[in-house]
Amino acid sequence: MTNTINFKQSKSKIRNMRKLPETMNLDDMRSMVSHFPDMLRNPTPDPDIIGICRDYHRDGIEGLCFLGMGGSLIVGSYVKEILSQESHIPIDIVKTYFLPKWVSKDWIVVAISYSGNTEETLTSLGHAKERGSRILTITSGGQMAKEYSRYPQVIVDKGAQPRAAFPVLLSEVLPISESLIGVKITNLVKVSENLISASKTWGESISKPSVIAQKIHNRIPLFIGAQHMSPVAYRAKCQINENSKAEAFYSEIPEATHNEIEGFPYNEKGSIIPVFLRCFGEDSQISRRMDITFNLYKEIGLNPIDLNSIGESKIDSMLSLTHYLDMVSVELADKRGVNAVSVTRIGELKKRLAFKG
């Protein structure tokens, strides 16, 4: 295995991704969420970037590591789960300032920062650079675009909130990752079409987002997922936090049935409302455990909610429920009378971190 950067790899691979949909209002979260399927469409992944990734795969890779924070890094969690049964190399996720020791020069490090200025990501990316790891960055600009322009790089269109840009980032990170591990690239145009069809059935195959928003209004949703629904549960928690300005949490089955299940009081409604995320083709052991846990929570008066994804493939089921729960967060924001776009406290935190006095 070699760490040498040849001429092809040293040329800056910067491109402007297709523009965000012209009809999308960047000041309106409902508009951005409604355009989720459109933003996912990526019929032509950059051939130079894909070629470099395939070269890396042929040379040999010990592991794949995603760096990022918040709405940018959730993409890495989805990709890790989508590829978990196909990848012959470990896939790691780092959301802190420090790069684990095992991420060496023979790993691929994919740094994702929509703004390009995420402090934690830039710091851990600096560690990867020091170790000589093979680096690829995905950003809309900022410090990352400037400092790492000599590495393979994808520049995406800017303007959306990072959490709303999730489908745009996924449409780049997924084909890159598939090329790195040597599997067929997913047809995201078809996935986008499936999402549009699925959203038209809201209210038939699954409750309207406004109905679920009403059920969790003035409660604290606990999104519960298993296997590839776990990152969907985490994403839903984050969307309620940022868009709805409300408390929310997430957990995973089977782990939650070994501890969390004992934390709820009996015969008392309480403030928590469990929301189970289900999908087609669940593992039989997982399915049985989810069913029993749901019934136990129902018996103690928690009034849990069951949400079933739409679609038979892993990626269809994950993204159909992601799109749906994004809209639930917008509906809840409306009920709470808050601005789903603004993130005042996050902005204040960044301002204080930047203050050196």
Q: What is the pLDDT of residue 10?
A: 39
Torsion sign, CA atoms 79, 80, 86, 90: positive
CB–CB of 253/201 below 8 Å? no
Please check whether residues 119 and 243 belong to one and the same domain: no
Could you list the residue range(s) of the whole structural domain that residue 28 is in?
7-189
Low-confidence ranges of the chain (pLDDT < 50): 1-12, 357
Please check whether residues 185 and 212 belong to one and the same domain: no
Q: Which one is catalytic: 19, 88, 258, 351?
A: 258
How many domains is the chain built from?
2
246-275 burial code (b ≥16 CB/10 A, e <16) = bebbbbbbeebbeebeeebeeeeeeebbbb
Does the global pTM surpass 0.85? yes
In a domain, 347, yes or no: no
Q: Which one is catalytic: 81, 120, 242, 282?
A: 242
Please check whether residues 14 and 62 belong to one and the same domain: yes
Please check whether residues 65 and 115 belong to one and the same domain: yes
CATH number assigned to the domain comprising residue 301: 3.40.50.10490
Please check whether residues 39 and 162 belong to one and the same domain: yes
Please check whether residues 53 and 168 belong to one and the same domain: yes
In a domain, 357, yes or no: no
Concerning whether 242 is annotated as a catalytic residue, the answer is yes
In a domain, 346, yes or no: no
Concerning whether 35 is annotated as a catalytic residue, the answer is no
Q: What is the pLDDT of residue 168?
A: 92
Please check whether residues 265 and 177 belong to one and the same domain: no
Task: Give the residues across from 154 on adjacent strands.
Answer: 138
Concerning whether 190 is annotated as a catalytic residue, the answer is no
Q: What is the pLDDT of residue 2?
A: 31
d(CA 157, CA 155): 7
Among 164, 189, 214, give the residue marking a domain's end.
Answer: 189
Tokens of 77: 């969690």
Please check whether residues 312 and 226 belong to one and the same domain: yes
Q: What is the pLDDT of residue 356?
A: 58
Please check whether residues 222 and 262 belong to one and the same domain: yes
Q: What is the pLDDT of residue 267?
A: 58
Please check whether residues 99 and 53 belong to one and the same domain: yes
